[in-house]
Amino acid sequence: MFFFNLKGRLGILKKYSDKIQKFGRSLLLPIGVMAPVGMILGITGAFVQSYMIARFPFLGNPVINTTLVSLRTIAGTVFDNIPLLFAMGVAYGMSKRDKGIAVFASVLGYLILLISMSVWLKVTGNMAAADVMSQVGQIKVLGIQTLNINAIGGIIAGLIAAWATDRFYNLELPIAFAFFAGKKSVSIITMGCTLVIGVLLPFIWQYFVTGLTGLSVIFLSKVGPFFTAGGERLFIPFGLHHLWNALFRFTEAGGSYVIDGTTYVGVVPTLNHVLFTLGPNSEYWSLMPSLTRFMAQQQMLCTMFAFPAIALAMYHTAYKENKKMVKGLMITCVVTALLGNVTEPLEFSFVFIAPVLYIIYACIIGIGAVALSLVHVGIGYIRGTIFDFAIFGLLYKDTNWVSFLIVGTILAICTYFIFKWFILKFNVKTPGREDAPSLDNTLIKEKRYGEIADIVIEGLGGKDNIVNVDNCITRLRIDLKDTKLVDQKILEKSGYSGLFFPMPKHIHIVYGPLVEFVRNAVDERLRK
C-alpha cells in the first residue's frame, strides 16, 4: 500500500511539475519581446537625456531628436501594457488546442478583469481621486481605473483562457444556443470566469500583497541579491528561472517604490521610470543601485567574468588530444553568452555531471551579486550582454562601472581556480575529459536543421515514440512514450551540447539559441 501511494504521489508531483515548467516557458514570449524593445527604449532614452546631448551635440539635431523621442514613445507603449503581454503569452504557451482562440479569449478576459475590479471600486466607494490613486494601490490601464495588480492580472487571464480553450473547445449546446457552442464558448466562459474573479479579487488582494511584501524583506535585505542571483542559476536546469525572476521583478516581492507621489510595484516598472523617463539628473537616480542589483549586472557577472573563467578552466583541464575541439566549443559558448545572454550551453556541460560544482557556481554568482550591491554598482537593465554593459554601464553616468570590473575580475580569478581544482580533484567529465569521443557540433554550425531533425527522431525511437515536442530558448523539451528506446549514441551525431531526463518520459536536448529552428525541422518531419 505504501509503495502504491508513493507511486501515486510521484505521479501527481510529476503532473504538477510539468505544468509549472510549461508555465515558466510561457513567460518566455512576453519576456522575449521585452528584451529587444527594452534595448531600443534604453538607447533612445539615453540619447535624449540632456546630459547625453551635452556630450554629443549632434543628438540635439531636431530630426535625430524627434526620431529618438518617437521611437522611445513607441517602445514605451510596450512596457505600459506588460500585463496584456503576459495574458497573451501565457494563454499561447499553456493552451494545447487552438492557441489563437486562447490568445483572443485572454485579451477579452483581461479587459473584463480590469473593468469588474473597477466596478467593484466604484460600487463600494473605494474609487480614489486621480491625483492620489497610485498611493492607494490603484492605476489606470487602457483607460480603466482599477486595482494595480500588475502582471498578475495578465497571468490570471492567460491561465483561464488556456484552461477554457482546452476544456470547452468542442463544447456542444442545445440547438437553440448552438451559435455560441464550440470555439465561441471559450471567450464567453473566459469572460464569465474573469468577471467572478474580478469581483472576488479585491477581497483577497490585500492578503496576497501582504505575503509578497513579507517575502520582500528577504529580497530587499543586504544579502537579497545572493538569493535572487544564486536562485536564478539553480532554477535554470529546471527551466523555472523565468518564473523566479518574474516574482521580484513584477510583484510586491521586489518592493514598492514611491516616486513623485506615484507608487511603482516591482523592480522593472520602477527601473523603467527612473532609467528611461527621469534620467541621471533626477533626484531618484540614487535608487538605481538598489534596483539594478536584481537585474542585468547579476547576469553580467556570468557572461562577462564567470563564463570566460569556467571555459578557460575546462580548456586547461581537457585531455591534450581534445584541446582543439574544446577550445572551439568554449569560445562558442562564451561568445553566445556575451552577445546573446544565452548561458545554458556552458552550464549544461557540467550541471548534471557535477551538481555540487554547479551549486558552488550558483553561490559564487550570488556572492558576487551581493558584492556589487555593497559597492553601489548601478548598471541596468534586464539582459547581461556586452552591449548592455556598454549602453547602461558606460554611457550612463554614476553607474560605478569601474567597481563592477574590479569585482568581476576578482570573481573570475576565484572561479577559474575553484573550477580547475574541483575538476581535477574529482575527475569531473567536463568537455574534453570524457571517456567517449567528444561531440561534433558541425551540423549545428552549418545550420543543417533537416539532418539534425532526422537524427533526433531516429535517436528518440522514431515518430511513434514521440508524444509532444516543445522548446525554450536553448533546448528541445520532448515527451516520450518509452525512454528505453532513446539511443544516445545516435543523438550525439546531432551535435547537442547537453542531454538529460528531468522527469520520467521527458527529455531535454540542448542546442543553444538555434533550437527553435531545430524544433521547426522536427515538427515538419513528424507531420510527414
pTM: 0.60
First to last CA, the chain: 45
Q: Residues with Cβ < 8 Å from 30, sequence gap 6 or more? A: 82, 85, 86, 88, 89
93 shares its domain with 74: no
144 shares its domain with 126: yes
- Which of 14-28, 186-200, 270-284, 373-387 bottoms out in mean pLDDT, i.e. has the lowest? 14-28
Which domain range does residue 521 map to? 442-527
367 grid coordinates: 556572492
194 shares its domain with 100: yes
Whether 468 contacts 480, CB under 8 Å: no
325 grid coordinates: 575541439
* Amino acid of residue 522: V
Number of domains comprising the chain? 3
164 shares its domain with 39: no
59 shares its domain with 111: no
pLDDT in tens, 302-358: 999 999 999 999 999 988 877 887 787 788 778 878 876 777 668 867 876 788 899
Question: Does 327 map to a domain?
Answer: no
What is the rounded distance in angstroms from the CA atom of residue 408 to the CA atom of residue 179? Answer: 63
129 shares its domain with 29: no
Q: Residues with Cβ < 8 Å from 227, sequence gap 6 or more? A: 218, 219, 366
Dump the DSSP string for 43-89.
HHHHHTSHHHHHHSGGGG-HHHHHHHHHHHHHHHHHHHTHHHHHHHH
269: buried, middle or exposed (CB in 10 Å: 19+, 13-18, 0-12)?
A: buried
The last residue of a domain, from among 219, 244, 273: 219
Question: Does 521 map to a domain?
Answer: yes
The last residue of a domain, from among 219, 254, 288: 219
What is the rounded distance in angstroms from the CA atom of residue 197 to the CA atom of residue 202? Answer: 9
Q: How confident is the model at residue 255 (pLDDT cuts 50, 70, 90)?
A: confident
> CATH number for the domain including 490?
3.30.1360.60
Q: Which of 193, 302, 333, 472 is catalytic?
A: 472
Question: Does 477 map to a domain?
Answer: yes
319: buried, middle or exposed (CB in 10 Å: 19+, 13-18, 0-12)?
A: exposed
12 against 496, higher pLDDT:
496
pLDDT in tens, 94-105: 888 788 889 999
Number of H helices, E strands in the chain: 23, 8
138 shares its domain with 209: yes
129 shares its domain with 189: yes
451 grid coordinates: 539532418
What is the rounded distance in angstroms from the CA atom of residue 65 to the CA atom of residue 49? Answer: 10
113 shares its domain with 21: no
pLDDT above 90 for 375: yes
- The question of whether 472 is a catalytic residue gets the answer yes
pLDDT above 80 for 518: yes
76 shares its domain with 118: no
pLDDT in tens, 443-464: 888 888 999 999 999 999 998 9
pLDDT in tens, 196-210: 998 888 888 777 767
Question: Does 123 map to a domain?
Answer: yes
The last residue of a domain, from among 80, 98, 113: 80
